[in-house]
A and B are shown apart, each in its own frame.
Chain A
Amino acid sequence: GEDVEQSLFLSVREGDSSVINCTYTDSSSTYLYWYKQEPGAGLQLLTYIFSNMDMKQDQRLTVLLNKKDKHLSLRIADTQTGDSAIYFCAESPPGYSTLTFGKGTMLLVSP
Chain B
Amino acid sequence: SQTIHQWPATLVQPVGSPLSLECTVEGTSNPNLYWYRQAAGRGLQLLFYSVGIGQISSEVPQNLSASRPQDRQFILSSKKLLLSDSGFYLCAWSTVLYEQYFGPGTRLTVT
Chain A residues within CB distance 8 Å of chain B: 30-31, 33, 35, 40-45, 48, 86, 88, 90, 92, 96-99, 101-104, 106
Contact = CB atoms under 8 A, between A and B. Distances in A.
Interface string B59-94: 100000000000000000000000000000010101
Nearest to A99: B100
B41 A103 contact: yes
A35 B107 CA distance: 20
Interface of B: 32, 34, 41-44, 46, 49, 51, 59, 90, 92, 94, 97-105, 107
B16 to A, nearest CB: 27
Contacts of A42: 90, 92, 102-105
Given A45-B100, A103-B42, 20 more contacts: A31-B98, A31-B99, A35-B102, A40-B105, A40-B107, A41-B105, A42-B90, A42-B92, A42-B105, A43-B44, A43-B100, A43-B102, A45-B102, A97-B98, A99-B100, A101-B43, A103-B41, A103-B43, A104-B44, A106-B42
Contacts of A106: 42
